[in-house]
């Protein structure tokens, strides 16, 4: 068995989610190759070669792959992937965008967002917003899978010494082009990788009040998240949303402030090790999953918490 892992990167830096995906590949067992598709990806390919357990890195360096448009990258992955037993990608917005296109080109069903590997052909994944866990078995010759990063501990980023091999194949479907992007700027840790996450909901009342959470987060070295209600109300940008339709996090500590705890939100954070809820409504569903609950006005509790930690 040889497994192809699609590297998650921005042409400059290899994203940590790649390490969790390699960890899933290691659980399946077999040789692990990593594909780095992009433009000027030399540094990313070198970083991928150092990942523990990786035996080969394929670097597809081409202007057509610069923004990882799925119309161009999917044919590349389908072509290279034909000789592999498994094709894995992280369940990031990129992985989710590209991999189903690859699966359809290979005429196989995909298994999305696995959280555990039972055997080389059997995997567990959450369905119904995490309210049920399905065990799925695949008989496909090539198993195409996205990996939920929080389900697997990352492998070491150093220690490997894989050979980097250039891939010449160029695919340019000519059906799509990149226009531009607007990335949210933040100095805090990345939401999906942070050890501590502080999240605010509708109870924050406005965007300005999130400054209380930022102050607390900076003291804890935490990332700041939000519920869908806070995002829809325009308090914070949507890339901060935690939930079924936003990001899935599983930090050591998740502090939910002014969040009621709708099913949709719980789907994104209920695998956190310790959950703290601060809410003035003692009936709020969030208290049913919280390890420590504090029924209090967040505008008094959060500044006090910031002073005490």
Residues in 9-68 that interact with other proteins by CB under 8 A: 67
Over the window 239 to 278, marking each residue x when it contacts other proteins by CB under 8 A and - when it does not, the resulting string is x----xx-x----xx---------xx-----x--xxxx--
129 Rama sector, left if φ>0, alpha if ψ -120 to 50, beta otherwise: left
What SS3 class is residue 151? helix
* CB proximity list for 247: less than 8 A, separation 6 or greater: 191, 192, 225, 239, 241, 268
Query: Could you tell me how many residues of this chain bind other proteins (CB under 8 A)?
Result: 89
Structure tokens at 67: 């923004």
Instruction: Pick between residue 52 and residue 278 the one whose CB is nearest to other proteins.
Output: 278
Candidates 120, 157, 164, 296; binder of other proteins (CB under 8 A) is 296
Cβ 166 to other proteins shortest distance, Å: 26
Q: How far apart are the first and last CA of the chain?
A: 49
Cβ 297 to other proteins shortest distance, Å: 11
Q: Are 46 and 164 in contact (CB under 8 A)?
A: yes
Instruction: Pick between residue 50 and residue 96 the one whose CB is nearest to other proteins.
Output: 96
State phi, psi for 245 to the nearest 5 degrees: -100, 0
Cβ 101 to other proteins shortest distance, Å: 4
Integer angstrom CA distances of residue 175 from 69, 73, 76, 94, 156 = 10, 12, 15, 18, 38
Instruction: Pick between residue 109 and residue 218 the one whose CB is nearest to other proteins.
Output: 109
By CB atoms closer than 10 A (0-12, 13-18, 19+), residue 246 is buried
Residues 128-187 that bind other proteins (CB under 8 A): 128-140, 173-184
Q: Report the 10 Å Cβ neighbour count for 306.
A: 17
Instruction: Pick between residue 52 and residue 231 the one whose CB is nearest to other proteins.
Output: 231
Residues 85-114 that bind other proteins (CB under 8 A): 92-94, 96-105, 107-113
Instruction: Pick between residue 158 and residue 181 the one whose CB is nearest to other proteins.
Output: 181
Structure tokens at 306: 């910031």
Element (H, E) at 43: helix 42-49
Instruction: Pick between residue 215 and residue 296 the one whose CB is nearest to other proteins.
Output: 296
Residues 179-238 that bind other proteins (CB under 8 A): 179-184, 192, 196, 220, 228, 231-232, 237-238
Cβ 161 to other proteins shortest distance, Å: 30
Cβ 278 to other proteins shortest distance, Å: 8
Q: Report the 10 Å Cβ neighbour count for 175.
A: 8
Cβ 306 to other proteins shortest distance, Å: 10
Tokens 């567990």 locate to 124
Instruction: Pick between residue 161 and residue 176 the one whose CB is nearest to other proteins.
Output: 176
Candidates 38, 126, 225, 268; binder of other proteins (CB under 8 A) is 126
Distance CA 250, CA 227 (A): 15
Instruction: Pick between residue 165 and residue 304 the one whose CB is nearest to other proteins.
Output: 304
Cβ 295 to other proteins shortest distance, Å: 7
Q: Are 97 and 70 in contact (CB under 8 A)?
A: yes
Cβ 162 to other proteins shortest distance, Å: 26
């Amino acid at each position: 068995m040889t497994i192809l892992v699609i590297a998650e990167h921005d042409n400059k830096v290899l994203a940590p989610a790649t390490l969790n995906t390699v960890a899933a590949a290691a659980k399946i067992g077999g040789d692990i190759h990593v594909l780095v598709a992009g433009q000027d990806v030399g540094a990313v390919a070198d970083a991928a070669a150092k990942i523990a357990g990786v035996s080969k890195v394929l670097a597809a360096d081409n202007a057509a792959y610069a923004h990882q448009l799925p119309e161009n990258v999917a044919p590349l992955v389908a072509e290279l992937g034909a000789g592999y037993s498994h094709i894995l990608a992280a369940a990031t917005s990129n992985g989710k965008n590209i991999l189903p296109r690859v699966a359809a080109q290979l005429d196989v069903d995909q298994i999305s967002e696995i959280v555990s590997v039972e055997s080389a052909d059997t995997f567990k994944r959450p369905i119904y917003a995490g309210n049920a866990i399905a065990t799925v078995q695949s008989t496909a010759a090539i198993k195409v899978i996205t990996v939920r990063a929080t389900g697997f501990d990352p492998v070491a980023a150093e220690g490997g010494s894989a050979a980097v091999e250039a891939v010449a194949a160029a695919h340019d479907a000519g059906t799509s082009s990149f226009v531009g992007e607007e990335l949210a700027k933040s100095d805090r840790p990345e939401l999906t990788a942070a050890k501590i996450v502080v999240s605010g909901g509708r109870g924050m009342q406005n965007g300005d009040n999130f400054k209380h959470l930022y102050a607390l987060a900076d003291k804890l070295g935490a990332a700041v998240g939000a519920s869908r209600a806070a995002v829809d109300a325009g308090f914070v940008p949507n890339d901060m949303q935690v939930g079924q339709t936003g990001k899935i996090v599983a930090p050591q500590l998740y502090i939910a402030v002014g969040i009621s705890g709708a099913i949709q939100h719980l789907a994104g954070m209920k695998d956190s090790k310790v959950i703290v809820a601060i809410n003035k409504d003692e009936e709020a569903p969030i208290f049913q999953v919280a390890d420590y609950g504090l029924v209090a006005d967040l505008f008094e509790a959060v500044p006090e918490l910031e002073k005490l930690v």
